[in-house]
Amino acid sequence: MPAIIVVGAQWGDEGKGRVVDGLAREVHLVARYNGGDNAGHTVVAEGRTLRLHLVPSGVLHPHVTCLIGGGVVVNPAQLVAELDELAAMGVDVGPRRVKLAAAAHIILPTHRALDGARETVRGKRALGTTRRGIGPTYADKAARTGLRAGLMQDPEEFGERVAEAVAAHNRLLQEQYGLTPLPVDEVAAEYCAYARRLEPHLVDGSALVAEMLMAGRTILCEGAQGTLLDLDHGTYPYVTSSSAIAGGALVGLGFGPREVARVIGVAKAYTTRVGEGPFLTELLDEVGGRIREAGGEYGTTTGRPRRCGWLDLTILRYAAEINGLTELALTKLDVLAGIHPLRVAVAYERDGERTTRFPAQFGAEELVRWRPVYVDLPGWTQALEGVRRREDLPPEAQAYVAYVEETVGVPVSLIGVGPDREQTIWSL
Ligand code: GDP
């Protein structure tokens, strides 16, 4: 079983961190393939809660090597802070365990400033980005003006390249946005220090992956965000700037499709999204508020309240297709206890026309013209937190899971009934 891909099947925050942690026992390498510190993964295990932004969620398992892949964009200040925090908790985050691909791109403070300036200029068309510089860093990557992590091998030279890039960004900030430039020498010195600190962690990421695969080791590819936030296949323009779908693992880490044995789509038992953009099953009523509170639906990275709504199987069917899902991990089933009936969207409708295929490609403006078609399923009142076997779930909860499997056409192999590692039902 060489490569397993864990991908978000909705708009992110599905609980990928806990799924990766749960599977890490069986793998040798956990590799993040896209995104930056706009993502936040939460792992609750062994009596502690880890909030990770860049370090892969396998880090709690001492036998696992963690790789921040070439498809990721890295804010070195955040990475250093995260490594320090984990080290203070007694987690081994030395260079032999946590590795940074030389092809990953570096986020500069001016990328962050540009992100904020662009969001402000967009006004009511703002995308709701986290303003962490992710989009501008990927834009520089595509424009071939970005700085790769590999440059940190020579900290002095890296400092010079940082100074040049910051100066170029400063001109944009001043001339286009009327903002104060950032101090070039100070930033360069700061980044030079990060380079000294992170240099021992640098590796050729695709070489490491190839070596592992050749040796018959299992690698787990951890996605950030989710299918509907994918740059190409999400709800453009309300998307992230990287490839969040399963294909992004191949691009971001550098290996071929024949190595992929399993593709696990992680979905909540309901739907949430942060930021702007269409969300057809959104609940703006008391039920939505109840899900938000019961599910703790506030962003790991930003603390922003997440928009909540009914489970949308049109989305999951789309995710199954785009990612080639072999299975689904359904998290947060516990959160739905006490809600009756439970509505699930099975199709969309407009002017007598009906579709079961998520209409992604014509963009956000097109999507809002559709209305969801719901099926009502019975709810349950029992708490699920203590359940460990699928057959011990209340019959209505079993029926809910079975309905998802049947409609999406993909088996559910993991059910989350609470945030803790132990609160997992393995059902294949
Ligand atoms: P990720 O970015 O996909 O890893 O998701 P996040 O970590 O941002 O969000 C998932 C949140 O839900 C975290 O706070 C998890 O601890 C929590 N969580 C994950 N699975 C479950 C579950 O089955 N039940 C409950 N109640 N919480 C869960």
Atom of ligand 1 nearest to the CA of 335: 26
- In the predicted model, is pLDDT for residue 35 greater than 80? yes
Beta strands (DSSP E) in 9-136 are 29-32, 41-45, 48-52, 65-68, 73-74, 98-101, 105-106
CA dist., res. 154 & res. 350, Å (int): 58
Question: Closest residue (by CA) to atom 6 of ligand 1?
Answer: 13
The vertex-54 CA angle with 27 and 299, nearest 5°, equals: 110
Burial class (CB in 10 A: 0-12, 13-18, 19+), 394: middle
CA dist., res. 145 & res. 141, Å (int): 6
Q: How much is the pLDDT for 1? A: 58
CA dist., res. 137 & res. 299, Å (int): 22
- In the predicted model, is pLDDT for residue 286 greater than 80? yes
Question: Closest residue (by CA) to atom 8 of ligand 1?
Answer: 13
Instruction: Give the pLDDT confidence of 63-117 residue by residue, as tens digits.
Output: 999 999 999 999 999 999 999 999 999 999 999 999 999 999 999 999 999 999 9
Pocket around ligand 1: residues whose beta carbon is below 6 Å from it? 8, 12-18, 39-42, 44, 296, 300, 331-332, 334-335, 416-419
106-198 under CATH 1.10.300.10, yes or no: yes
Amino acid (1-letter code) at residue 180: T
Distance 284 CA to ligand 1 centre (A): 22
Distance 264 CA to ligand 1 centre (A): 16
Q: What architecture (CATH level 2) is domain 3-101+201-263?
A: 3-Layer(aba) Sandwich (3.40)
Confidence of residue 205 (pLDDT cuts 50, 70, 90): very high
CA dist., res. 205 & res. 374, Å (int): 45
Average pLDDT over residues 5-22: 94
Atom of ligand 1 nearest to the CA of 415: 23
Mention every residue, 6+ apart, whose C-beta is less than 8 A from residue 219: 2, 3, 4, 27, 28, 29, 30, 31, 209, 212, 213, 253
Residue of 11, 38, 42, 53 best suited for mutating to test ligand 1, as the one with most atoms within 8 Å of CB: 42
Q: How much is the pLDDT for 157? A: 97
To the nearest 10°, the Cα dihedral for 193, 197, 201, 205? Answer: -10
User: Would you list the domain boundaries of the chain?
Assistant: 3-101+201-263, 106-198, 267-426
The DSSP letter of residue 336 is: G
Average pLDDT over residues 158-178: 97
Token code pair at residue 167 = 């100066």
| Whether the domain at 3-101+201-263 and the domain at 106-198 fall into the same CATH topology | no
Question: Closest residue (by CA) to atom 17 of ligand 1?
Answer: 419
Q: How much is the pLDDT for 32? A: 97
Question: Closest residue (by CA) to atom 26 of ligand 1?
Answer: 418
Q: How much is the pLDDT for 130? A: 83
Mean pLDDT across the chain, nearest whole number?
Answer: 95
- In the predicted model, is pLDDT for residue 319 greater than 90? yes
Q: Is 169 a catalytic residue?
A: no
Q: How much is the pLDDT for 362? A: 86
Distance 151 CA to ligand 1 centre (A): 35
- In the predicted model, is pLDDT for residue 302 greater than 80? no
Distance 131 CA to ligand 1 centre (A): 23
Distance 13 CA to ligand 1 centre (A): 7
CA dist., res. 191 & res. 156, Å (int): 10
Q: Which of 21, 37, 41, 201 does the annotation list as catalytic?
A: 41
Question: Closest residue (by CA) to atom 11 of ligand 1?
Answer: 15
Average pLDDT over residues 170-193: 97
Distance 48 CA to ligand 1 centre (A): 14
CA dist., res. 404 & res. 414, Å (int): 13
Atom of ligand 1 nearest to the CA of 295: 26
CA dist., res. 185 & res. 164, Å (int): 10
Distance 238 CA to ligand 1 centre (A): 22
Helix (H, G, I), strand (E, B) or coil at 237: coil
Token code pair at residue 81 = 């802070």
Beta-strand relationship, 424-426 and 412-416: antiparallel
Residue of 48, 331, 384 best suited for mutating to test ligand 1, as the one with most atoms within 8 Å of CB: 331
Q: How much is the pLDDT for 67? A: 98
Question: Closest residue (by CA) to atom 25 of ligand 1?
Answer: 418
pLDDT above 70 covers a percentage of the chain that reads: 99
Closest by alpha carbon to 61, among 220, 285, 270, 240? 220
Q: Is 41 a catalytic residue?
A: yes
Count CB-CB contacts under 10 A for residue 403.
17
Strand partners, 348: 355, 372
Q: How much is the pLDDT for 401? A: 98
Instruction: Give the pLDDT confidence of 129-139 residue by residue, as tens digits.
Output: 888 999 999 99
- In the predicted model, is pLDDT for residue 41 greater than 70? yes
Q: How much is the pLDDT for 301? A: 67
Atom of ligand 1 nearest to the CA of 418: 24
Token code pair at residue 357 = 């295929």
Instruction: Give the pLDDT confidence of 337-392 residue by residue, as tens digits.
Output: 999 999 999 999 999 999 999 998 888 888 999 999 999 999 999 999 999 999 99
Count CB-CB contacts under 10 A for residue 398.
15
Fold annotation for 267-426: Adenylosuccinate Synthetase; Chain A, domain 3 (3.90.170)
Average pLDDT over residues 279-294: 97
